[in-house]
Amino acid sequence: MNARDRTDLITRYTEETVTEEEIETLLEEREDPHAYIGYAPTGEMHIGHFTTMRKLADFVAAGLEVTVLVADLHAHLDDEKSPFELLEARSTYYEEAIRGMIEAAGGDPDDVEFVRGTDYQLEEPYTLELYRLIADTTISRAKRAGSEVVRQSDNPKLGGLVYTLMQSLDVLALDADIAYGGIDQRGIYMLSRELFDDDEKPACVFAPLLSGLTGGKMSASDATSKVNLTDSPDQVDEKIQGAYCPQGEVEDNGVLEYLEYLVFPVFDERGEVLTVERPEEYGGNLVYETYDELETDYVSGELHPADLKPGAAAAISEVIDPVRERLTSQPDLLADAYPDTYD
RNA sequence: CCGCCCUUAGCUCAGACUGGUAGAGCAGUCGACUGUAGAUCGACUUGUCCCCCGUUCAAAUCGGGGAGGGCGGACCA
């Protein structure tokens, strides 16, 4: 693969790349540039995480060295979302879930290096650099950078601001050439690019954030707005059945987005196609090899939501199935990480 | 260290002055209408009124103590 093809692979199904030229140049000059994604082990992982993780298989295929940072300290710094005592259990669960997602997406988890925040964030040179950033950055600048990521409240703690600076610094600490994450991470990595020299600042790749199933954004606090990795086929079916899904409309349509960014990319990797069962009275079954074909039928009205939903639910279940199996076969993982939910 | 304010449904809050079986909006659940969902109607559900003690026939409400949160003052060789 040449640099151009590798760049295309790295940037496909993404929301934004900063900048494509930088990435192509990087690939021309270096054999195996280094990409990283960080996750704070807070709440249970869901289908939105899966669409983001799927890309790591593309990264590996494009010849990037890939690191996943399990940012344990960040999970506590962001409004104490994870209690200090649970950081270890949640980090273990996150790593296992992420391995499962990479494998389900057709990648080999062993091609990815896992790092914990506490592996390097508690000592020099990291701490010293962090203090310099703290001294150098205004409160309003840090607040703006982290506003889409850090939990907002009337009485925010300092943790949220330190969180933002730490994540900006992680790029350097991990020696990453490319910072990857959801588009919500944009502000933080733009701060990174602003703070550091040209030869240190990261190129960025951002994944789209999928709409929630209830219309609008996916919400951590609303179980019906998203499919969890451990949802049974029946639960998935129930959630998709209840999803906001206006006929012919693509806007804010979580069901279609799940298909575009998760189901079809994974099916493509596995060599599968999507079958939509439809009663004879409405024209009989349909088979789709690509998302574009499906969207065209949906927009034209040929494909009705009531027929799409069961087919989409089955396909989603099929995609998350290996991850669900992996997690439910180790019940202690979730029980230890979320004792209040699984007692 | 001192002073003041706040704590009521999943969320935002009213009710407290003047004690009498705890409310609204949003959210949620269920029906109707759609070949899905939403929207729109219709119905329904929701409580340790932060905790303890006291006064009273009766306390979310009054008094005392405590916890958590917020704001301000003072100190600053």
The candidate with the shortest Cα–Cα distance to A187, out of A218, A150, A219, is: A150
- Distance, angstroms, CA A61 to C1' B50? 56
Q: What percent of chain A has pLDDT over 70?
A: 100
- Distance, angstroms, CA A155 to C1' B68? 14
A217 falls within a domain? no
In this complex, which residue's CA is closest to the C1' atom of nucleotide B27?
Answer: A222
Cβ of A207 near strand B (under 7 Å)? The reply is no
Nearest nucleotide (C1') to alpha carbon of A248:
B36
Tell me if ipTM is over 0.85: no
Better-predicted residue by pLDDT, A154 or A9: A9
Which of A's residues 290-319 have CB atoms within 7 A of nucleic strand B?
A: 304-307, 309
Q: What percent of chain A has pLDDT over 90?
A: 85
Nearest nucleotide (C1') to alpha carbon of A244:
B37
Segments forming the whole domain that contains residue A181: 3-207
My answer on whether omega of the bond before A125 falls inside 30° of 0, hence cis, is yes
Nearest nucleotide (C1') to alpha carbon of A245:
B37
The answer on A199 and A76 residing in a single domain is yes
Nucleotides of B under 7 A from a protein CB: 28-29, 35-38, 69-71
Q: How far is A267 from A175, CA to CA, in rounded Å? A: 33
* Amino acid identity at A280: E
Flag whether pLDDT at A181 surpasses 90: yes
The answer on A159 and A262 residing in a single domain is no
The answer on A203 and A229 residing in a single domain is no
Give residue-wise pLDDT tens across range A121-147: 999 999 999 999 999 999 989 999 999
A233 falls within a domain? yes
Flag whether pLDDT at A329 surpasses 80: yes
- pLDDT of amino acid A192: 96
Cβ of A216 near strand B (under 7 Å)? The reply is no
A216 falls within a domain? no
The answer on A321 and A235 residing in a single domain is yes
Give residue-wise pLDDT tens across range A234-292: 999 999 999 999 999 998 899 999 999 999 999 999 999 999 999 999 999 999 999 99
When pLDDT is cut at 50, 70 and 90, the band that residue A173 belongs to is very high
The answer on A247 and A158 residing in a single domain is no
Cβ of A243 near strand B (under 7 Å)? The reply is yes
The answer on A231 and A178 residing in a single domain is no
The answer on A254 and A125 residing in a single domain is no
Give residue-wise pLDDT tens across range A7-28: 999 999 999 999 999 999 999 9
- Distance, angstroms, CA A129 to C1' B74? 36
Token duo for residue A311: 């087919």
Last residue of a domain, one of A146, A178, A207: A207
Hey, is A207 helix, strand or coil? strand
Give residue-wise pLDDT tens across range A184-222: 999 999 999 999 999 899 999 999 999 989 877 787 777
- Distance, angstroms, CA A251 to C1' B62? 57
A212 falls within a domain? no
Beta bridge partner(s), residue A115: A69
Last residue of a domain, one of A153, A180, A207: A207
The answer on A46 and A20 residing in a single domain is yes
- Distance, angstroms, CA A187 to C1' B6? 34
Cβ of A84 near strand B (under 7 Å)? The reply is no
DSSP codes of every residue in A213-235? TTSSB--TT-GGGS-BTT--HHH
- Domain of residue A253, CATH code: 1.10.240.10
Quote the number of domains for chain A. Answer: 2
Q: Mean pLDDT for chain A?
A: 93
Hey, is A46 helix, strand or coil? strand
> Out of A95-99, A213-217, A325-329, which region has the weakest mean confidence (pLDDT)?
A213-217
- pLDDT of amino acid A153: 83
